[in-house]
Amino acid sequence: MPSIAYATVDVFTTTPFSGNPLAVIPDARGLSDADMQKIATEFNYSESTFVLPPSDPTNTAQVRIFTPTTEVPFAGHPNVGTAYVLGSMAEVFGKPVGSVLRFEEEAGLVEVELARDGDRVVSTSITAPRPLEIGSTIDPATIAACTGLSLADIATRNHSPVFLSVGLKFAFAELADLDALGRAKPDPAAFEQAAMDYLHEGRDFSLFVYARLGDSGDLRARMFAPLDNVTEDPATGSASAALAAYHASLRPEADGTFNSLITQGVEMGRRSEIHLAAEKTGGVVGKVRVAGSCVPVMRGTIAF
């Protein structure tokens, strides 16, 4: 029986069994779209990635990203983790692996930088493929219904709940404090209703809620996507990047690089640390970088 090699890593952590797990298929040649979806469903991680030769030989690879239910155009932790796995290999599709990788994805070209200690990859940094896109504002009552919280728990003094994207769209809402964040519990029926109410914003409703940690700019967050069979995600790099870009856009400074740390997964027992840097020039947010560490967990083969 043919077999397909895979590796799993925990992303945005240096501790095994923390962070966000990811399955990577380093050579997905020969797999159909249906095969990839079945494998992603079998792993049942928030995402799994499938690596294919690039269409442009100057790039490193084509990377396809699947949730347990569908393919997505971009995501943060899959890029960080895939780059870690490929960066730990001697070559990818016959080409040596350097410290800069370029992934072809549906959302665009994703550039990745690897920090190494000798041959060991110690951290990975990606640049979001698209500039910040700001969508519709969201009724705070929708956020309250989706999270089982009260309207008083939804903070609106800094910004209204809103749709944001740097390659993959999420709904965002600030909560009043860490207590409210800890009490949040997704209601699938409310998510289904929200998806219908905001159908013009996309196919589903994935919600990133957060609370501020003092005045440092650092945040603690949770992400719920029950419509994608992801009740809660331990680390969501694409959403974190969009939020970092949005917060930079709201700052009064016209120029600067704004660094922040988002901690996620704490309530799940899978603490993740996502480092972000948003560049702002002339009042416009340009590049947003997402960085973090990874730790290998498993290697094996899938019987196919």
Match 């999420």 to its residue by tokens.
170
Q: What is the CA radius of gyration of the chain?
A: 19
Tell me the residue ranges of DSSP E strands in 99-160: 100-105, 108-117, 120-127, 133-137, 154-155
Whether 71 is catalytic is: no
Count the Cβ atoms, other than its own, within 10 Å of residue 137: 12
C-alpha closest to that of 174 among 163, 159, 195, 191: 159
Residue 39's Cβ-count burial label (10 Å; 0-12, 13-18, 19+) is buried
> How many residues belong to the chain?
304
What type of residue is 233?
A: D
Which of 42, 47, 106, 174 is an active site residue? Answer: 47
Both tokens of 48, joined, read 């799994």
Read out DSSP for 156-208?
Answer: -SS---EEEESSSEEEEEEESSHHHHHH----HHHHHHHHHHTGGG-SS--EE
Q: How far is the C-alpha of 292 from the C-alpha of 288, rounded, in Å?
A: 14
Indicate which residues carry an active-site annotation: 47
